[in-house]
Structure 1
Amino acid sequence: CALIKRELLHGCVAGVCRYPLGMSGGQIQDEDISASSQWSESTAARYGRLDFEEGDGAWCPEVTVEPDSQKEFLQIDLRSLHFVTLVGTQGRHAGGIGNEFSQMYKIKYSRDGSRWISWRNRQGQQVIEGNRNAYDIVLKDLEPPIIARFVRFMPVTDHPMNVCMRVELYGCEWLDGLVSYNAPAGEQMSLPAYFNDSVYDGAVIHSMTEGLGQLTDGVCGLDDFSHSHVYNVWPGYDYVGWTNESFPAGFVEIMFEFDRTRNFTTMKVHCNNMFSQHTKAFRQVVCYFRSEADWEPTPLVFNPGEDEQNPRARFVTIDLLHHMASAIKCRFYFADAWMLFSEITFQSDTAMYNTTLAPPKKDDPTHKVDDSNTRILIGCLVAIIFILVVIIVIILWRQVWQKIVEKASRRMLDDELTASLSIQSETLAYTHNQASTSSEQESNSTYERIFPLVPDYQEPSHIMCKLPEEPGSTAASKATTTTIVQEGAPHYAEADIVDLQGVTGSNTYAIPTLVMDLLSGKDIGVEEFPRKLLTFKEKLGEGQFGEVHLCEAKGMQEFMNTEFSFDIPEEQTVLVAVKMLRSDADKNARLDFLKEIKIMSRLKDPNIIRLLAVCIYSDPLCMITEYMENGDLNQFLSHHEPEGFNDLSYMAAHIASGMKYLSSLNFVHRDLATRNCLVGKNFTIKIADFGMSRNLYSGDYYRIQGRAVLPIRWMSWESILLGKFTTASDVWAFGVTLWEILNFCKEQPYSQLSDEQVIENTGEFFRDKKRQIYLPQPELCPDSLYWIMLSCWRRNTKERPSFQEIHRALLEMHP
């Protein structure tokens, strides 16, 4: 099939020479990809392959790229000369964790590895527009194309920034082997038409030396040389031309240098023959051959014959009679006042094929088609057609199979995922036969429960791929399938980020594993509350399927069970938070909402926000939770002066107590911060989950394009880089929350760092080369409290303290 490439390339239709050269396909080996520097081993040059996600997902230079530095580059060695017509670039997103890309770049190339040439477009510009985000692939035509073995991509910025790149090259192998041609500089006709070689990449003074240009750019000139294939250029652009007035000897001499000694069969010269403008193809060419150091004494002479009938441009083919040479010097003799060339190509070695796309003339001895090669071409085409047919059949079969599966899933959803409400019994009847669909979907409830599979990490998003069956089932022990990400994974490896947006938009961390002991039984333990007794005061936030409102509840005390009571008179209204599901929410959202009610009803601790009541007998479904009179801890502390409040460890102990309770249930909060802690009377603190839903705290979350928002400034390194959320990662977040408290929430954690730099800093924790940045000790923080913070931020999760230990230490500081 390579013969097709040869014929297309030599037929002056290089626009179809656009085959990927092997970055994404793997044909280019790792050892042939190098770079000026690398940020880490997992962002080395070999990871700079387009559309690949291995390592950290891209090549990233070691340092921030400065404007006009041009020091950083990603280099590809193609092992041989190639005709490169197109390039593709992409940034690094690493499954939503990364956001680095190069908005601009330059290209340098070399044919021998020593002399490097800066690519310029046909208007002389070097800078190529790159990417606008980390996801999309941007393809750019190289006009003119380049002929090179080595290619460098050099990121360009207009301000200091971090960049990462993935690239691909497209083109064909350069079969001519031509590395340079030397010729007199092109001249100007009085039309005016300029016949200079405007893209020549060698030296141009009075003559052109040691370069390639328009004679090898794959674009053939038109019959009328005053017009061009290229837009916004001058007349004569496609041709390099000379007038006989400048050459008393009557010829123009062009010398061609090749990469090695070759066995030459033909040379093809594309000439203009617009004889009405005194322009004709050459009348004679005399070629000399140099195989070693000396030129052969006897030249080859070829006379094409003049044509004054057909003004069309044409290829003139010269039979080189299998001369062996590493250089050819040809003298082209004028047939009229002007001689214009647009392309010169060579065939050598085994490339003895018909090199035009048009059928050969019967009386032309230079166009002999090898029947065996024709058979090979036909065989290749038949094989390609067969492969395409097989691919189409597979695609159609998969589509049909997918429809069958979808129909089966819908039937299962209709039959199994049901939640029925019984008004007579005033209890919630909830079915548990949902294993097959919950494995495919990620529920979004307030808290997440995990079971220890290994001492260190759990993978919440994959920890339950199938629900446990009913007690007594023999298959129960086989129902749990796990996917564990090894701790040694690259620090920018694509993490399994799940959809963290809750049903109502207020919970960022809750992906339950639907533990059956929590969901067993029909009684949800909370009463139905009359909607008419709720007075809406403020909208706290909203999500895809619902809203969160601050309400006043009248007569709430009458509906509470004996385990919970308000320390306020019965006739006084109570502030509550109401999570409301929109009436148009789909069945899955409704199911998730009921799951959240079930789980919240089981959480009973003085330092955890309680579920008080529900409104589920009619739409919209609502759950009513506590809301503390002093609001969230972040706003509470930020409005207090340090000298007016000195009992911060007491508040921290309340948070630690609540987290100790959650950890005892193997629940993971995933968004512990002062914005998610509510303040009651006497500085009582209760842990909640309203932070994300409030626009006030939108700046605390890093948005991953099209995926989720993450509180990265509170997250542990393994949560950001590996997607692992455990009690140990909650401990890390507690350390940041404690830092917030000691700073009276006057400053955001890592306020001096951008979001991208925060993520980069987690990479330093991963490598553990003592270059990571810790949050500084707050001004009013005693050493003992700062030591607790630092212990929460230990790299090794096993070395971080438990919430039991943290709670005990804080109580000792506050007798």
Structure 2
Amino acid sequence: MHLFFLLILQVTATSAQIDPVHCRSALGMQDGRIKDHDITASSQWYETTGPKYARLNREGGDGAWCPEGELEPSDSQYLQVDLGQLTFVTVVGTQGRYARSSGKEFARAYRLNYSRDGTLWRTWKNRHGNPVMEANSDAYNPVIKDLHPPIITQFVRIIPVTELSAPVCMRVELYGCPWEDGLVSYSSAEGQLMMPPGYPIASLNDSIYDGTHQRRRLSGGLGQLTDGVIGQDDFLLTRQYHGWPGYDYLGWRNDSLSTLGYVEMEFVFDRQRNFTSMKVHSNNMFSRGVKIFSSVSCWFKPRLQGGWGAGPVVFHTVLDDRNPSARYVTVPLGRRAGSTLRCRFTFADVWMMFSEISFLSEDTVLPTQPVSTTTPLPPDLHSAMATIPATGRTFDLSSSPQYSCSPEHSNTPVLIGCLVTIILLLVVIIFLILWCQYVCKVLEKAPRQILEEDLTVRLSSCSETVALQTPPVPPRASPPSATAVSSDSHYERVFLLDPQYQNPAALRNKLPELSQSAETSGCGGGYAEPDITQCTPHQCFHSNAPHYAETDVVRLQGVTGSNMYAVPALTVDSLTRQDISAAEVPRQRLVFREKLGEGQFGEVHLCEGEGLPGGAVLVAVKQLRADATSQARNDFLKEIKIMSRLSDPNIIQLLCVCVASDPLCMVTEYMENGDLNMFLSQREIESTLTHANNIPSVSLSDLLHMSVQISSGMKYLASLNFVHRDLATRNCLLDRRLTIKIADFGMSRNLYSSDYYRIQGRAVLPIRWMAWESILLGKFTTASDVWAFGVTLWEVFTLCKEQPYSLLSDQQVIHNTGEFFRNQGRQVLLYAPPLCPPSLFKLMMCCWGRDADQRPSFEGLYQALRPHVNQ
């Protein structure tokens, strides 16, 4: 029964963590969701330049908010915005007074003050202690600035700053998302210095804490434990630019806390809640004396001025001395009620380090009784829960409202019935655990069985139980298998590939069936004027484009963490340094804004550029690290050469390079509207309701236009015999006119880590977008890109609300590829999206054809889709 509760809590808690990369929605200044009475100011020049006119891209009144008189360097005039609730604010946009060409006032810089209660005001500072943010250089163009660190607040004051006496006017937009945690402050001992011999000194303090520091204790504020930045496995590495070793963690040493053996933290919330669980991201580099906590005890206080309830919730972890990866530990809190929590985390080694703490709770407060005794998890279930992080806990069934077996009832038959029910449930759960273990072992062996001499061996004995069509699931969530495996990449199962996976040619010699196409089923060849209404799952366009197996191409992958295009080896070898057509620019023109991602030898940065080709302002910069190997350096130069050859309206463009000196850099376009996955997931299909409520929306025509653009870009790559390998909506970027450019940044962004499957000894793979021959044989061709294009179309017409095959675990997806290979009609197919025209879904089915040479070519896909878009 303990396992049952823990599995439920493990799934529900995964959505509680704020992701700063995804939390960038406009909060309502421009579109009017923030009302006029929620916008105030310290002064105004005229009625027509009052605070209600301080809305970005709006021209109401005289065009902006202007404080009274000329602003002096010593002034602290402010514009105040009430967001109505606690909000995680990540971005600020500012603009001057344009007033249809008649205005010229703007602010060159500003400061931010913020308050969570409207009484206590705090000053925002960046991670290097600077409180001043650069703003505008003219009155018309808006300037968008990320807050590093972000702030959690309800009230924001924008304070314009000037060096000389001058009139100043401003228009503003704030970006972020609601702070559902409700946490308003946490208190703990200060972090400490770690001075390990042979390693850099690690400063494990909370460097952005906005409360008070007194007597080596933090109190009354929030900081790095709620900034959404998750620490890496090696705590000496940091995700922040120019951060010092240990920057991402708050850490304590066991023998420096008066030998108490624990760290006590207190958490204060905005109101009383019923707490379901707490998630603690903890480092576990045991080789340097760092481990997750061994146990935690939490007390609850219903009211801020009240007393602590008796009987804590106690949770014991299972310590891991084999996997040094940092991980989330989910602590069940039994739906206990309170507005303040006090938790004691017990050391398991010399050091304990946290990078994030979040809470999951229910809005409706239900009274709970403190418990004096707890029931430990039976030892025989520990092995069954080996794949779940931080298992083995104490939990009191009487504190859970799911069961009504209360000691207060003396009716013997009722008690006996409850006991029998619990025993039966335990027996069923244990049986399911053992059965799941057996199935998982079979699934792990499945890909190897495909490669044996006997092709009749089945991947699994449970294939008959899998439905042939996955029912739609509205939210994009983790598959049910996530109850047994954490969504964090550190707990992904490792898929052991057959050694011959490294050599697809040997596989084709061993299994000639894998390299021979089955009999054609009436699919024609020409593309004079294809009609997608005539295409069926068994009558598909013939692909005339040449295919290149993995052994025939050079794979430019892993240098920056992104999945670069693969091209024929002959094409790469024929290129020289003179083939780089991109201009060399001084790296001083690139001003860092944020890190987008990283790989083993390189990083991807978002930068502001000055005087770059094409007048680009925001650019993506791939930079090779100084300690990269010579092979990584050669691959990076090859990647630059290949990118310099690409020139198409729907392919991301290489703008310039910095290769005259180290570190080597390539500069590409960056789209401020982000990727297609994020864009569509934040929108609904256009309707009267969306218009009436100002809900961001897209039309069916927009979706078809996007599909045509993606097919056009892939048609261009296919014409050069380039194979992308990672086509998906996350790798399609948009500009303001909804122009799509295919890129390769998806794998380097933590936001989409769940879309990739970690394979032992190899790079992670986007298996839900991959053709069966790519997974089983390592064969990547134009035809496998066509398969991924079909899945990308499916994403587009589900508005990216759901992951492909969302009801299947990663292991089941791999098993399903075997069913595609055997082609016995038992493969699981993606369902037809409700927004998708039937003829278009038939085209998707053609892209997922079993035989690669029977799938459409990108030329055919483009010609088939283009007539359905209103030009």
Q: Structure 2 length normalisation: TM-score? A: 0.42
Larger Rg: 1
Q: Structure 1 length normalisation: TM-score? A: 0.44
